[in-house]
Chain A
Amino acid sequence: MKRALDRGFDPPAPMVPARVRAPGGADWEALSAKVDTGADLSAVPDRVLEALDVAPVRVVRAATFTGALQEVPVYRVDLELAGELLPRVEALATRRPYVIAGRNVLRHFVVKIDGPREQIELRRPT
């Protein structure tokens, strides 16, 4: 699946459609996801986690861009990324309004970002 990079960000960002639900749940929340190869784990907006009443499972220390460490809870959600379902993936909570697709989910995909053409391709390996 090829998509144009999102020019709402500067520089344009690799955004793909995503859906989130509680593990095995019925209600989906439709969102956008930013592909972030620098993030070990994914993240989901905190308002979505709250609305879906998802409980955390464990705690990690997140190293932020400043190098500071912060203890944060890790949740499990079913994540649908670019139409592909990834059950029970780990995700932190973020105040951003979109999902961060980190390497724990990107490892299941072939990701190509074409900067000059401002395109992202995300697909399952054949």
Chain B
Amino acid sequence: MMTTIMTTQVGVRDLKLHAPRLVERAARGESIVITRYGKARARLVPADDVGDDTPTPSGRAAEWGAEQRAFERLEPELTRKHRGRFVAVSRGKVVGVDDDHEALYERVWAKLRGKTFFIGRVGAPPPVVEMTGFEVE
């Protein structure tokens, strides 16, 4: 079955005057093309057509995400044994525990060289670092 999408052209002046109504029409599936000096310059489309612009992690970043989720799954059990300590997880299993995340990283990196792993502190929120020159990105 072929779907026909209705397209309407409106000038910037009409957009200013009728923005709420045009947004509603676009939300219902109509394609509203905004023109300026007679030329098409922009388009209003339903939000569902825009999609999620959050980048999907790929490669090693995706692997790391899986390790982070494994840590979260293991955390209730880890809390009993290692509350407040840093735990490293790789391939869904605990591969190291330490009170110092730097020492733990170096040990696990030397052992797993090249493999992806996650380090988290059991039963504690992530530490705060001051990045005073940074805006939220």
Contact = CB atoms under 8 A, between A and B. Distances in A.
A104 B62 CA distance: 26
B59 A53 contact: yes
B129 interface: yes
A43 interface: yes
Contacts of B68: 59
B54 interface: no
A56 interface: yes
Contacts of B136: 64, 66, 68, 70
Interface string B98-116: 0001000110010001101
Interface of A: 23-24, 36, 38-41, 43, 50, 53-66, 68-71, 73, 76, 88, 92, 94-95, 100, 102
A24 B135 CA distance: 31
A35 to B, nearest CB: 11
Contact of A64 (B63, B126, B135): B135
11 contacts: A23-B109, A24-B114, A39-B130, A56-B64, A60-B126, A61-B129, A63-B128, A65-B132, A66-B136, A69-B128, A76-B109
Contact residues of A: prevailing secondary structure: strand
Contact of B129 (A23, A41, A68): A41
Interface stretch (B11-19, B33-41, B43-51, B117-125): B117-125
Secondary structure dominating the interface of B: mixed
A59 B67 CA distance: 12
A65 B135 CA distance: 6
B103 to A, nearest CB: 12
Contacts of A50: 61
Contact of B119 (A58, A66, A71, A92): A58
Contacts of A41: 129, 131
A60 B127 contact: yes
A63 B129 contact: yes
A53 B60 contact: yes
A70 B136 CA distance: 7
Nearest to A39: B131
B81 to A, nearest CB: 19
A58 B118 contact: yes
A29 to B, nearest CB: 16
A38 B128 CA distance: 14
B113 A24 contact: yes
A22 to B, nearest CB: 9
A49 to B, nearest CB: 8
Contacts of A36: 133
